[in-house]
Amino acid sequence: MIEHTVLGRPGGDNALWVRVNTGQQIHRLLFDCGSGCIGPLGSAELQAIDHLFFSHFHMDHVAGFDGFFRINFSRDTKPVHVWGPAQTIDLMQHRFQSFWWNLHEEQTGSWIVHEILPDQVKLARMEVCEAFAIRHPLESTAVDPLISNPDYRVSVRLLDHRGPSAAYRVDEEARCNVNPERLTRSGLRPGPWIQALKSPEAGGRVQVDGIDCDLDQLRADLLDHSPGASIAYLTDFRLDEPWTERLAEWLAGCDVLVCEAQYAQTDALLAQQNFHSTSLQVAELARRAGVGKLELFHLSRRYPDFIWREMGREARSVFPNTKFPAAWNL
């Protein structure tokens, strides 16, 4: 299950908090870190975040980072992973070193910074015990997917904001569960063999109550398969016809699209000049991609509330399942 919350307020800085809940483990992901956004999460959730993803480094997307850093700079339970487009390593190191480090030698805490380029992801590790002064280069990794593990994967597209703005998509891996009714009808008792049944790497045969059984046949008889949930985060980008076509293919079938609606359609020329998108344009993107839901955020403060509501109605005329974050009451 993927849970998400858009942080911040309409017309202010925003961020996206995502939890991938497998039932046995919760993975926490934060997308951008605007001013005043992370406070509602609390220290425990912030200290448990696995990955912080930046779309780009304009002030309204990074102004809350100092609060995140203060809580996590010496986290010793696991490294902090930070992701972003070109210049991420330079900018993060400058941010780390913008404080006075004179009591750091005995502190623990590692930060792994990932810089997403068109053809590779560059990595550098930095340590609080070294006052973040030394970059330890790590082996580069592939761009797509950025992250792939048994529970979820993260993919990326670099959008055009007169410079790269990273868009991210999170896909939960397909779920595989034993159907309890069919298990009862089979007469087989649950046991350690269930783990082999659910493991795609396991093959051949397995002993169940002393009976030699074919694993592939048991899977066909007992397992239910369902696709995992998915969510995408897109902000600060120019959206024209070629980009709409490319992004619609990448976003195809996504359950939730969290997307900027910086401008009303009447200001489409201004949106183009400032490398942003309109509510009507992103609604058309959602329609073509066949997403389940479009959630609009990152609204321009140039508009009063009633214009934001009109932008929502405008978007729903193209893509009916368009919402604002529930807490915004728009």
DSSP classification of residue 33: -
Side chain identity at residue 317, one-letter code: S
pTM greater than the 0.85 cutoff: yes
> What CA–CA distances, in Å, run from 132 to 74, 91, 111, 318?
11, 12, 9, 49
pLDDT interval class at 201 (50, 70, 90): low
Is 60 assigned a catalytic role?
yes
Residue 94, token pair as written in the block:
């400058």
Q: At residue 197, does pLDDT exceed 80? A: no
> pLDDT tens digits, residue range 98-127?
999 999 999 999 999 999 999 999 999 999
**Maximal CA-CA distance, the chain:** 73
**Domain coordinates in residue numbering, the chain:** 2-173+228-328, 175-226
Residue 36, token pair as written in the block:
């005043």
CA 318 to chain centre: 25
What pLDDT, on the 0 to 100 scale, is given for residue 200? 65
Which residues contact residue 138 at a Cβ distance below 8 angstroms, ignoring those fewer than 6 apart? Answer: 112, 123, 124, 125
User: Exactly one of 32, 50, 60, 216 is catalytic; which is it?
Assistant: 60
> pLDDT tens digits, residue range 261-310?
999 999 999 999 999 999 999 999 999 999 999 999 999 999 999 999 99
CATH fold of 2-173+228-328: Metallo-beta-lactamase; Chain A (3.60.15)
For the residues of 150-206, what is the DSSP string, one character each?
Answer: SSEEEEEEEEESSSEEEEEEEEEPPEEEE-HHHHHHHTPPPSTHHHHHH-TT--SEE
